[in-house]
Structure 1
Amino acid sequence: MSRSARLLQLLDQLRRARQPQTGPALAQALGISLRTLYRDIATLREQGAAIAGEPGMGYEMRPGFVLPPLMFTPDELEALLLGARWASQQADPALAQAAQTALDRVRSALPLELRIEVDTSGLLVPAMDRADAPTEPWQTPLRHAIRHQRKIVLHYRDEKGQPSERCIWPFAMAFFDRHRVLAAWCELRQDFRHFRADRVRSVTALSERYPEPRAHLIERWSRQLCSRTDLC
């Protein structure tokens, strides 16, 4: 986890707490040492966070402070709201929870009039029927492999039910209404291939990074798609 993400998590912990939180409890919740926690609190205070408390007494956020105020146009706010609501329905549980946490964080930092706009928005994303389009359990490791640009071994069945084992370089995932599709470079075929997540049987994450940057793979893949479909 990056330091900036950790500082935001610490702010969230203090914001949600109903009573002062001890240093050891905060450190344990964040998975960091007590020394690191004290440094992070000092950093947040230097940046203007109104955090009251001392070691041995507990820490709390003073009323009236969460994050610096954020301003969005109505269109920007609706786009963020729809995106977060869609992700909470379509993605794996970890990403769905992250979408809700991000939306809560943005909402808490909005001026009152925009916070009311969020709470009373008429833009809705209907709940999906999970029995009709279940979330595949390997979405999270696939996302992590894409993020960290690491190879994976994919155990897969094609549309005819034929099994195969592929070492691939995953670089993108598309979220359609009923299917998630993984785009990757396949070492077996020495070409780009697409894999439906619901046909994946298991995923083995490897520690080895693939040798080409993800941005280059996406660029080459996009050119190949354009040449094959005449869409460009």
Structure 2
Amino acid sequence: MERSTRLFEIIQLLRGVTAPMTASAIAVALEVTPRTIYRDMAVLQARRVPIEGEAGIGYVMRAGFDLPPLMFSAEEMEAIVVGLSLLGRTGDNALQQAATRVAGKIACVRPEATRAATLLASSWHAIPAGPVDPDTIRRAIREEQCLSLTYENAEGLRSARKVRPLALVYYVDSIVLGAWCDLRADFRHFRLDRIQSCAVLEERFTAQAPALHAAWRRQHERPAP
């Protein structure tokens, strides 16, 4: 997590509590060390964010502090609300938790956007659950790290693949990983529910990533004959 994002998260945490919150508790929530939180608190206080407290006692936010309003039109806000609702269909717990946090941030600065439930998304979906956590794959895509997969095709045959993960494509009935497959020396697509095991490798493909992404997108967006 980048520092700017972490500073925002700390503000959000402190705005939601009524009693002092220790650096250790904040560190657990943000998955960092207490020492990192101490440094972040010093940065926030230097920027005149009204946080009171100190190490060993805890921190609180003085009343009256507010973040700048989110500059979204009504249509943009409706698009966000619908998009967040649709994430419930993915079965990806990490994405759903992130959606809940986003909704909380929107409610803090644009409460009118969440008052009326006029746009609803059905929770029904046909996406089967798989043995691999999608968060692992999404992180590998972000970090441009190769993956070692055990994949089972529609006929039940298994194969070992080393791939360079490029994108996740969310369909109504499946989630598909688009990747460069070293075994086939070409782009391949793997249904997440058929990936039997997945290990993140140390090897990165950062240098090749821009060209791979561009080539995969051209192929993926090509209209069907």
Q: TM-score, normalised by structure 1?
A: 0.86
Of the candidates 151, 154, 166, which is equivalent to residue 146 of structure 2?
151
Give, in angstroms, the shift of residue 157 of structure 1.
Answer: 1.0
Give, in angstroms, the shift of residue 98 of structure 1.
Answer: 0.6
The answer to whether the 8 Å contact 2:174/2:191 transfers is yes
Output the amino acid matched with 1:119: R
CA distance in 1, matches of 2:66, 2:55: 21
SS at match of 2:197: strand
Q: How does 1:25-44 map to 2 (within 5 A)?
A: 25-44=25-44
SS at match of 2:69: coil
SS at match of 1:64: coil
Distance 1:212 1:120, change over 3 A: same
Q: Does 1:58 align with 2:54?
A: no
Q: Could you tell me which residue of structure 2 aligns to residue 75 of structure 1?
A: 75
Distance 1:24 1:155, change over 3 A: closer
Percent identical residues:
37
Q: How many residues align?
A: 224
CA distance in 2, matches of 1:186, 1:93: 27
SS at match of 2:154: coil
Q: Could you tell me which residue of structure 1 aligns to residue 117 of structure 2?
A: 121
CA distance in 1, matches of 2:200, 2:27: 29
Output the amino acid matched with 1:133: I
Unaligned runs of 5+ in 2: none
Q: Could you tell me which residue of structure 2 aligns to residue 197 of structure 1?
A: 192
Q: CA RMSD in A?
A: 2.2
The range that moved more, 57-66 or 169-178, is 57-66
The answer to whether the 8 Å contact 1:27/1:34 transfers is yes
Q: Does 1:49 align with 2:49?
A: yes
CA distance in 1, matches of 2:173, 2:97: 20
Q: Could you report, residue by residue, the CA deviation over 1:38-89 in whole angstroms, capped at 9, with x for unpaired residues?
A: 3312322343422122344421112232422223110010011111111233
Q: Does 1:23 align with 2:23?
A: yes
The range that moved more, 58-67 or 24-33, is 24-33
Unaligned runs of 5+ in 1: none
CA distance in 2, matches of 1:16, 1:199: 41
Distance 1:216 1:107, change over 3 A: farther
